Amino acid sequence: MAKVELDIPRSPDRIFEVLADGWSYAGWVVGATHIRDVDRAWPEVGTRIRHSVGAWPLQIEDETVVRAVEAGKSLELDAKLWPVGAAWIRFDLAPAADGGTRVTMREKAVSGPGSLLPERVQAALLVPRNRETLKRLADLVVHGDQR
């Protein structure tokens, strides 16, 4: 399983506000290029974000579904990307000693060709992407406070 962590100098509730804004995903999720639709009740269990991945005209359209959520603490997703497969993704938010938040992101391919790779290989491929994802999330959280 690919696991990355980043301390963000904001509260878990502030970070969760960004996670709960499905329209913001293309701004911080590496690879997401366009959000086509977000269910009104996002991020309730079972709700979806319909997104595009890749550069036009070679975009793939698919969706991400909420598996579990605990406001201010965690968000668990199924990210689908046909024909590549699907991934299980989890964000955990924990208060850090400095008053900020330790954000932990875990990801694992659960179907398609990626799921056939050993976890060590999956991690080697996903960790750099997910580090960048958390850096982008941090930028949006921190600089979004300055609006």
pLDDT tens readout for residues 38-92: 999 999 999 999 998 877 788 888 899 999 999 999 999 999 876 678 999 999 9
Specify the CATH number of the domain 2-144: 3.30.530.20
Residue 69: the pLDDT is 98
Residue ranges of domains in the chain: 2-144
Helices within the chain (DSSP H only): 12-19, 25-28, 119-144
Residue 90: the pLDDT is 98
Tell me: the pLDDT tens digits for 92-125?
Answer: 999 998 889 999 999 999 998 888 888 999 899 9
> Could you give the CA distance from residue 45 to residue 137 in angstroms, rounded to a whole number?
22
126, 2 Cβ separation under 8 angstroms: yes
